[in-house]
Chains A and B, each alone.
Chain A
């Protein structure tokens, strides 16, 4: 199980942001993405998650391997914590949400509507969603936003357990998670924004 990226060029709004980028992520590894704001970390993660096509390059990964954790947690305020989690569990064809609730310290909140959670609690629920996907490769976009120190430690433990079980994680973050992780700085791959983003593609005109 391995994520291999070669010669990848990604664009946001039709403008290339990162070009000719490559790395390898094998099971048991954590790779931390670094780079200043606007350097294209989110765009890279969205491309790897399959939400947008790359401009150039190859992404090779096993099918059905990716769990994507975005800035937004995708929670429904009217549903309870357990209902939110159970929904995603059944979408991914898993059933057990208890472990995820325990791991993210949400047991006491399980019947609380998600709308009444604090920002940090919502984030914890968003991260608990990753645990119920059962997917080996986690792509995480600033997972620790609005988490307190104890919750960051909780999250780091969850990543450690995931990796120890043969998973892998690619995490865009600005803080030190205390993980045994390789650092991948995207700054050297910054694309020239004036270069044209491939011509002829019909949808470019609308972006």
Chain B
């Protein structure tokens, strides 16, 4: 399974692998939003955590359909399914690889991009922390969506429509926790729910995604 993780990471970093796509998209969003809403730094500072969260979420969405589609097209998914690797484990590794190449870079970049949005100083830490806790859920839910749509040609649209409602709890509690923490309000509850969404997704969705792939391969 480690071999699968290493292969996926290697494929992403090599030419044509799509690493940096999400990051570039995230940068574009954070650069464009201040142009769109105007130069009022008080307004920007208020919406910054939310915009950073929405930007990270959409950037995550961009690379989801690559998770299984390429392996499906070149036949490796069939061969993986007959290999001595549990499909649940393979799915979890795919989600981890997606997080390492998308969620983690976005998380690390968010405080820097926050500077473009006049993010308050306390926000640098809290946007980073909430994204760090929340993006694993985004990758795992997205992997599940990719597994559901794996056999479909141009399944990207369906994938986005399936995944977006599932992303809402993560977005809601992630952005809300960051906002409350920045304003100095009580944030323990929303933070706990965010962590719960992440932990729950990681615990349950590999099994659901593996079942979806087995059905799609028939």
**Interface positions of A (Cβ within 8 A of B):** 46, 49-53, 64, 66-68, 70-76, 78-79, 83, 87-88, 90-93, 129, 203, 207
Contact = CB atoms under 8 A, between A and B. Distances in A.
Contacts of B7: 76, 79, 83, 87
A90 B78 contact: no
A51 B78 contact: yes
Contacts of A52: 217-218
Contacts of A66: 82
9 nearest interchain CB pairs? Answer: A72-B75, A74-B76, A90-B3, A78-B14, A52-B218, A74-B75, A74-B79, A68-B82, A49-B82
Given A68-B78, A68-B82, A78 B217 contact: no
Interface of B is mostly: helix
Given A79-B10, A79-B11, A203-B215, A74 B82 contact: no
Interface of B: 2-4, 7, 10-11, 14-17, 71, 74-85, 215, 217-218
A93 B83 CA distance: 10
A74 B74 contact: yes
Given A87-B3, A91-B83, A91-B84, A76 B78 contact: no
Contacts of B81: 50-51
25 contacts: A49-B82, A50-B81, A51-B82, A51-B217, A52-B217, A64-B84, A70-B79, A72-B74, A72-B75, A74-B78, A75-B76, A76-B11, A78-B15, A78-B16, A79-B10, A79-B11, A87-B7, A88-B83, A91-B3, A91-B4, A91-B84, A92-B84, A129-B79, A203-B215, A203-B218
A46 B78 CA distance: 9
A53 B217 CA distance: 11
Given A50-B82, A78-B16, A93-B84, 14 more contacts: A46-B78, A50-B81, A51-B81, A51-B82, A64-B84, A68-B78, A70-B78, A74-B80, A87-B7, A90-B2, A91-B3, A91-B4, A91-B84, A207-B218
A43 B11 CA distance: 31
B60 to A, nearest CB: 23
Contacts of B76: 74-76
A74 B77 CA distance: 8
B67 to A, nearest CB: 14
A66 B71 CA distance: 20
Given A64-B84, A91-B85, A92-B83, A78 B78 contact: no
A88 B71 CA distance: 14
A71 B85 CA distance: 21
A148 to B, nearest CB: 22
Contacts of A72: 74-75, 78
Contact of B17 (A49, A78, A93, A207): A78
Contacts of A49: 82
A47 to B, nearest CB: 10
Chain A CB within 10 Å, residue with most, of B75, B84, B218? B218
Chain A CB within 10 Å, residue with most, of B16, B75, B79? B79
A93 to B, nearest CB: 7
A72 to B, nearest CB: 3
Given A52-B218, A90-B3, A91-B3, A75 B82 contact: no
Given A50-B82, A51-B217, A91-B84, A78 B11 contact: yes
Nearest to B83: A91
Nearest to B77: A74
Contacts of B75: 70-74
B81 to A, nearest CB: 6
A90 B1 CA distance: 9
A45 to B, nearest CB: 10
